[in-house]
Amino acid sequence: MALPESFLQDLRLRNPISDVVSSYVNLKRAGRNMVGLCPFHNEKTPSFTVYTATDSFYCFGCGCGGEVITFIRKIENLDYIDAVKFLAQRCGMQMPEFAVDDSLGKLRIRIFEANRAAAKFFNNYLYSPGGKKGLDYLKNRGLSDSTIKHFGLGFAPENTYELNKYLINCGFTEFELEQANLAFKSSRTNRLVDRFIDRVIYPMIDLRGNVIAFAGRTLNKTDKAKYINTSDTPVFKKSENLFALNYAKNTKEKQIILVEGYMDVISLHQAGIENTVACMGTSLTKEHAQLLSRYCEEVVLCFDSDNAGSKATQRSIEILRQANIPIRIIRIPGNKDPDEFLNADKATGAEKFKALIEKSRNDIEYKLSLLRQGVDLSEPSAKVSFLTEAAKIIAGIDNSVEADVYCGKLCKELEVEKASMLQLVNKYRSRYRSDAKRKQLRFIQTEDTRPDSLNPDRNKRLKAAKAEESLITYIFGNPDKIGEISKRISSDDFVTEFNGRIFACISEKLLSGGTLSLTDIAGKFSVEENSRIAFMANRLPGDLASANECVDIILSEKKKQSLSSTPNAGDDDILNYINSIKKGKQ
């Protein structure tokens, strides 16, 4: 049984899509609609549009779209029912009592509960005799009891069955523990085994305060893996979550400091620098960058100074630049990490670290300084080589004033004509733009030939598929014409299964006397499918004559498909089909 239509309509009215989206995206009015930078992919020019007339959104850059429930599903990483609950709670509505297959939502709740119970178990064990070595480790790293409690740190027993035995006694099933990645079946014994054994435990908490995952650090030097992390589960994706963002987002700072390790984060928070986060067992992703852009105006990168840290910094710069997030980079003296730096001077470590933030360089200055390392600029050939590579870096700056400033600074320092340097920069800039245009042109040229995972039949029957999409667009724009259209065609006549499902859904709703809203049908489709439907719904619908032409094309293509798949189709059948087409064109 689906959610009541009256409830969904009320939910939509109480959660105007422009208000909900504005909580995540800086929107600007553009006629009747609103536009902004898409929160689902990195872009510099706004291609994300909120359509107030249809209570929907669509991004022409990445193809993501839908209505308010789909937006929350996508941005909060929730399933359909949890997204509805999120919006209901936002506007103070009570969820209706109804029978629905909410198995995934119920599993997510059970995983949250199991994780919370596991976190409490690990924390209690840390302060038991069995957890002494874990507690000693944390205390030796300079952590106070209040910090340990604040982050809910714990310790996992050496016994490989202790946690899952405890959780099963609490009422959790083996299936739930496996889905939470707290345990797994041993291939040797076929028994359930704890994932985290004899390790210091760092719980991961999401922005709503749920325990979603764990990281475990070994204290045994013989272990191959220093850290193990929860694998992706129904409540956790490591590419979309940041350690301690639940705390960092509440600070008044406009910056967020991104560091490498969990202990770096915890030590900085203990020192009062609470606007600090770390990735969870993975390098920075574009999803992380989009997440950071919602909670800060600038990201300060503070990675290790070794070769791996330098590569991570360079990679993170490119990702953050694409997300239009200003960047600064901290270089800690003596190749120390933040935790080591703070503990080296407990009395003034925090103030010294804040001073490093103040002195930090932006990403362009950082790249130029790396480029300059070990180069003898008194040698003419070395100077030319340095300036050529520097021009490539500066050419990547979109802001022409900013690029001009860096050119002027370098030219003055190295006694080079600024006009020559600008000429070199413009040469590489033109090359970058030409490359970008070629990529865009290739994308457009191959758009109709690329595999379509949502509608795999589309490319095989492109003419019919386009007619089906146009007809669906017409129905969204003219729902009162469904009776007239349905007399001529049904969903069974559609050539592509995906478009047929959409037509069946909207025609059934309208023919039964209901109204047509994207919110009402969102629960019947996936996030990706709702994106495609939103695109169709927000196109210009055309007139009735065009709609009837679309019907003719679909019926004709369906007949052609039927004949081609009929092994006994004779010459008379084919001749009759050709004549019917000729008649239709007269």
**Rounded-to-integer distance, Cα 182 and Cα 114, Å:** 9
- Residue 564: the pLDDT is 64
Rg (CA), the chain: 29
Provide the strand spans (E) within 316-405. 327-329, 361-362
- Structural domain including 543 reads 462-585
Same structural domain for residues 576 and 486? yes
Nearest Cα residue to 530 out of 80, 99, 81: 80
pLDDT exceeds 90 at position 301: yes
Give the Cα separation of 407 and 397 in Å (integer): 11
Read off the CATH number of the domain in which 26 is found. 3.90.580.10
**252 and 232: one domain?**
no
Q: Are 284 and 278 in contact (CB under 8 A)?
A: no
pLDDT of residue 335: 78
- Residue ending a domain, among 394, 418, 445, is 445
Strand partners, 66: 57
Same domain, 185 and 118: yes
pLDDT at 1: 47
CA distances from 272 to 135, 248, 496 (A): 22, 11, 59
What's the mean pLDDT in 427-432?
Answer: 88
The pLDDT score that the predictor gives to residue 291 is 86
Model confidence pLDDT, tens digit, residues 374-400: 899 889 999 999 999 999 999 988 788
Distance CA 437, CA 104 (A): 43
Of 445, 473, 499, the residue at which a domain comes to its end is 445
**Long-range contacts of 185-190, Cβ-Cβ distance < 8 Å, separation of 24 or more:** none
pLDDT tens column, 188-213: 888 999 999 999 999 999 988 999 99
With the CA atoms of 352, 355, 357 and 358 taken in that order, what torsion angle do they form, in degrees rounded to the nearest 10? 180
Sheet holding 211-218, edge to edge: 154-155, 199-205, 211-218, 227-229
pLDDT higher than threshold 90 for residue 163? yes
The distance from CA 20 to its chain's CA centroid, rounded to whole angstroms, is 17
CB contact set of 20 (below 8 Å; sequence gap of 6+) = 68, 71, 72, 87, 90
pLDDT at 432: 83
Residues 117 and 157 in one domain: yes
Pick the closest to residue 370 from 457, 303, 280, 453 (CA basis): 303
How many other CB atoms are found less than 10 A from the CB of residue 221? 6
512 and 580 belong to one structural domain: yes
DSSP string, 80-124: HHHHHHHHHHHHTPPPPP-----HHHHHHHHHHHHHHHHHHHHHH
Query: Do both 224 and 117 map to the same domain?
Result: yes
Distance CA 585, CA 562 (A): 21
Query: Are residue 508 and residue 403 in the same domain, yes or no?
Result: no
pLDDT of residue 581: 47
> Any idea what the Cα angle at residue 30 is, between residues 52 and 77, rounded to 5°?
55
Phi, psi of 228 (to 5 degrees): -125, 145
- Which residue matches tokens 């909120």? 50
CB 339 within 8 A of CB 261: yes
Evaluate whether 22 touches 52 at the Cβ level (below 8 Å): no
> Does position 576 have pLDDT exceeding 80, yes or no?
no
With respect to residue 453, please indicate whether it lies within any of the assigned structural domains.
Answer: no
Q: How far apart are CA 301 and CA 173, in angstroms?
A: 42
Q: What is the mean pLDDT of residues 261-279?
A: 96
CA dihedral 394, 400, 405, 410 (to 10 degrees): 30
Give the pLDDT confidence of 535-549 residue by residue, as tens digits.
999 988 889 999 999
- Mean pLDDT in residue range 461-466: 90
- Grade residue 444 by pLDDT with cuts at 50, 70 and 90: low
Please tell me the predicted confidence (pLDDT) of residue 81. 87
Give the pLDDT of residue 32.
85
Confidence band (pLDDT; 50, 70, 90) for 447? low
Residue 456, domain member (yes or no) = no
Where does residue 93 rank: exposed (0-12), middle (13-18), buried (19+ CB within 10 A)?
middle
Enclosing H/E stretch for 539: none
Query: For residues 194 and 241, what is the distance between their CA atoms, to the nearest angstrom?
Result: 23
Whether residue 116 is predicted with pLDDT greater than 90 in this model: the reply is yes
User: Are 307 and 420 within one domain?
Assistant: no
Domain with residue 306: its CATH number is 3.40.1360.10
Tally of domains within the chain: 5
Position 369 in a domain: no
| Those residues with Cβ within 8 angstroms of residue 218's Cβ, 6 or more apart along the chain or in another chain | 198, 199, 225, 226, 227
Burial bucket for residue 401 (CB in 10 Å: 0-12, 13-18, 19+) = exposed
* Residue 68 counted as domain residue: yes
Exposure of 28 in the CB half-sphere (CA atoms within 13 A): 7
Tell me: do 9 and 79 sit in the same domain: yes
Residue found by looking up tokens 């003055």 in the block: 412
| 281: confidence class by pLDDT, cuts 50, 70, 90 | confident
Q: What are the tokens at 6?
A: 């009256």
Q: What's the pTM?
A: 0.71
Tally: H helices and E strands in the chain: 26, 17
Return all residues near 340 (Cβ < 8 A) that are at least 6 apart.
Answer: none
- Whichever domain contains 485, its CATH number is 1.10.860.10
Q: Which of 210, 236, 262 is the last residue of a domain?
A: 236
Asked, for residue 457, whether it belongs to a domain, the answer is: no
Q: How far apart are the first and last CA of the chain?
A: 48
Amino acid of residue 289: A
Residue 180, pLDDT above cutoff 80 = yes
CA distances, 3 to each of 97, 521, 566 (Å): 9, 10, 42
Residue 356 and residue 391 in one domain: no
Q: What is the DSSP letter of 138?
A: H
**Inside any domain, residue 450:** no
**Tokens 């509440």 appear where?**
250
In a domain, 406, yes or no: yes
Cα-Cα-Cα-Cα dihedral sign, residues 453, 459, 464, 465: positive
- Comparing 35-39, 230-234, 306-310, 382-386, which segment has the lowest mean pLDDT? 306-310
What integer is the mean pLDDT of 31-48? 86
Same domain for 130 and 175, yes or no, is yes
- % of the chain beyond a pLDDT of 90: 57
**Domain membership flag for residue 96:** no
> What is the pLDDT of the chain when averaged over all its residues?
88
**Phi, psi at 259, each rounded to 5°:** -120, 175
**Is residue 80 located within the same domain as residue 151?**
no
Residue 569 reports pLDDT greater than 60: no
